[in-house]
Amino acid sequence: MGEALDRLLDLLDLEQIEVNIFRGRSPGERRLRVFGGQVAGQALVAVGRTVPANRPVHSLHAYFIRPGDPSVPIVYTVDRVRDGRSFTTRRVSAIQHGEIIFTMSASFHHAEPGVEHADPMPDAPPPEQVERNSDRWARILGGDHPRAFDSPFDLRSVGPLSVEAERDPSLRTTRSLVWLRVDGELPDDELLHVCLMTYASDMTLLDSVLLGHGLSWLDGRTRGASLDHAMWFHRPFRADRWLLYAQSSPVAYGARGLARGEVFTADGRLVVSVMQEGLIRTTPAAD
């Protein structure tokens, strides 16, 4: 495994400081606030450690309440709401400086026999034929730009990057396809794979809002933050195998943009569904 993945796995390895209370940290570098996917992933680790391993998570619903401070630890307190015969429910709050910065409810359920259907995977070239995003960012922005830093995920966008759509109106769209996988081999720990996908789900999803308007997080006039985030886990999957993240934005209004995503395995199985609303504020472009 690479150093970036080692650092991420270390971030997800929370310290248990009391029954139902866990402590996580942030990497601290390159960010003014804690990355939302990190908080969501750590929160899922916390609740997952209070649930039997044979009952996997099937859904989570989260709210980002305040920006996280990357310079201090995050304390996660878990509320054991229900332990039923079929379902287990947990709530978790992330706390910094005595205030709640994030809340999540998660439900756990072991799959039972029943009806089955799923939307097909959209057409996309295989990941081996798509250039790594890190290489594209380095070519566009220069290798020393912060956006070109080493990532624990291998991301490969089939369509334009936001900075490309900013420069070329013909590339603007509210849909995107991204191949992704963890950049290394992982153990057979289902919760770990789910937590890593939770982390990754926040990395590119709001870009589907920006792409349609020629905006970029790097344009100097666009600021944003995740407001809420929901995920449904339909089938087991591995985060260290290629996954196609199909993303789109059906609506944006009132400085809020809604984005949705579907995650498919390379052989076409729909394994995760995602919804997120984000705050996106822009200032007028300079003449």
pLDDT along the chain (287 residues), means of 10: 85 95 82 87 97 94 95 96 96 97 97 94 97 88 62 93 88 95 94 96 94 89 93 97 98 96 98 97 74
Q: Which two tokens stand for residue 118?
A: 């799923």
Q: Which two tokens stand for residue 154?
A: 């291998």
Question: Hey, which residues are catalytic here?
Answer: 202, 226, 276
> Tokens 């420069």 label which residue?
167
SS3 6: helix
d(Cα 155, Cα 16) in Å, to the nearest integer?
Answer: 32
d(Cα 39, Cα 62) in Å, to the nearest integer?
Answer: 10
Query: Would you state the pLDDT for residue 30?
Result: 61
Burial class (CB in 10 A: 0-12, 13-18, 19+), 114: exposed
> Tokens 């943009």 label which residue?
257
Residue 68, phi then psi, degrees to nearest 5: -85, 150
Query: Would you state the pLDDT for residue 3?
Result: 84
Count of residues making up the chain: 287
pTM of the predicted model as reported, rounded to 2 decimal places: 0.93
Exposure class string for 154-170: b at 16+ Cβ within 10 A, else e: bbbbbbbbbbbbbeeee
Query: Would you state the pLDDT for residue 28?
Result: 64
> β-pairing, 222-233 with 270-282?
antiparallel
Residue 8, phi then psi, degrees to nearest 5: -65, -45
Determine contact, residues 38/73, Cβ cutoff 8 Å: no
List CB contacts of 54: < 8 A, sequence separation 6 or more. 110
Query: Would you state the pLDDT for residue 284?
Result: 75
Query: Would you state the pLDDT for residue 139?
Result: 86
**Residue 18: how many other CB atoms lie within 10 Å:** 9
